[in-house]
Amino acid sequence: MNKCLKSINFKDKRILGILVILFISIIVSRFAPDAFVYILGLTYLFIILAVSWDIIVGYAGQINLGHTVFVGIGAYTTALLQVPSRFQGTFFEFLSEMPQIPIFASILFGGIAAGIVGFLIGVITLRLRGWYFALVTAILPFIFIETTIIESEIFGGEEGFSIGLERALAPTSLGKYYIALALMLVSVVIMFTIVNSRVGLKFKTVREDLNLAEAVGINTVNYKVLAFIISSFFAGITGAAIVHYRSTVSPGLYDIPLMLLIILAAVIGGLGTILGPIIGGLIVYLTRYWWLKGAISAFTVAGLPINDDIILYIILIALAILAPEGLWVKVRRFVSET
């Protein structure tokens, strides 16, 4: 089996992989219960988040703790583009007359908005060495949540607002599932191509040795910012798609728990591998929202102060200690040794 896989070349393997994913996804959607299909669609979108986080952290080596903010920016951009009446009676009254644009255009705008914010933050923080990028991105979620609360007339405060079922990705849940699947495949293939191109090679050089990268003539700041823009853009697109998947938008969805889930997915899969975060994302999201639900009631009966989040955080710490380079990498090494 292994020999057979080795004999086909890299490009074929990629296409084979996509075909296998497509085949399994279609089979699952035919036979699994509706609720599972709904969660699985969200899982596909979550995978884009994990992979896009991997570009800035795993490839360019810059620790981004505010990825969910870019998801949120994409989400609110598309939600407000679709429901411009939210602006009525506020300072931004003039925006309430915006013409209605197609859903997919506004999803794209969500990505662009996130990319622009990523560019602005990146230009200021990534030209410095050291920890400034991590510190600034770490406080972004607080700023984001606070903004949605202060401007609650527009953003709907902590509850958020509904964009209406008629603006969903597709009228049926199966349709939404397939669109999420398509979006994931397209995004992952684009990101995969980027990191395996010369640009991706330069990202890795920047990660491995800044001085060396500069010595061989790479403008490290530009490449760090570029990686951040790409990462933020896909986060924004995904955030926008999630809004049209769920038909609502609220700041709680883009808070730190989601960030930790993304980190967990990337850590399980292994940073800087693209494929790792895909598998990690699949495992983590399904575990969190399909299997773990209710599994912890045993603990609460025992009177221990434990909830699903705590279990996830403990798993994360344990994984980080046991397999800091990624569980998937470890498994693969184990398989190739035996």
Partner 1 sequence: MVQVALKFPIFFNFLIQWKLKMIELLMRILVYGATLSGIYALIASGFTLIFGVSRIMNFSHGAFFILGAYFGIALIHGIGLNPYLSIIISILIVGLLAAAMYKSIISPVREHEVMVIIVTLAFALIVEQVILLTFGEHGISFPSVIEGVVIVGTVLIPSMRLFVLAVAIIALIMLWTFIGKTRLGKEITAASQDAEAAMLMGLDVDRLLIVTVFISAILAALGGVLYAQVYAANPFMVLKSLIFAFAIVILGGLGSVKGSIIAAFIVGYILTAVIVLYGARWSEFVALFLIIAILVLRPSGLLGVKEQ
Site string for partner 1, 243-262 (x = CB under 8 A): -------------xx--x--
Q: 178 or 285, CB closer to partner 1?
A: 285
Applying CB under 8 A, among 131, 186, 216, 219 the residue interacting with partner 1 is 131
Q: Please say which residue, 97 or 159, places its beta carbon nearer to partner 1.
A: 159
By CB under 8 A, residue 298 contacts partner 1: no
Among 34, 186, 313, 333, binds partner 1 (CB under 8 A): 313
Count the neighbouring beta carbons within 10 Å of the beta carbon of residue 60: 28
Binding to partner 1 (CB under 8 A): which residues in 56-95?
A: 57, 63, 65
Choose the binding region for partner 1 from 130-138, 159-167, 184-192, 246-254 (rule: CB under 8 A): 130-138
Contacts (CB under 8 A) with partner 1, residues 100-129: 124-125, 128-129
Find the binder of partner 1 among 136, 229, 230, 258 (CB under 8 A).
136
Nearer to partner 1, 29 or 125 (CB): 125
Torsion angle (degrees, nearest 10) of CA 72, 74, 80, 83: -100
Shortest distance, CB of residue 309 to partner 1, whole angstroms? 5
Burial of 226 (0-12, 13-18, 19+ CB in 10 A): buried
From residue 52, alpha-carbon distances to 22, 68, 168, 189, 233 in Å are 21, 11, 24, 11, 9
Among residues 79, 267, 282, 327, the one that binds partner 1 under rule CB under 8 A:
267
- Could you say which of 33, 99, 217, 305 contacts partner 1 (CB under 8 A)? 305
Window of 12-20, 155-163, 277-285, 302-310 that interacts with partner 1 by CB under 8 A: 302-310
- Cα pseudo-dihedral 282, 49, 262, 162, rounded to 10: -100
Residues in contact with partner 1 by CB under 8 A are: 57, 63, 65, 124-125, 128-132, 134-136, 138-140, 142-143, 146, 149-150, 256-257, 260, 263, 267, 271, 305-307, 309-310, 313-314, 316-317, 320-321, 324-325
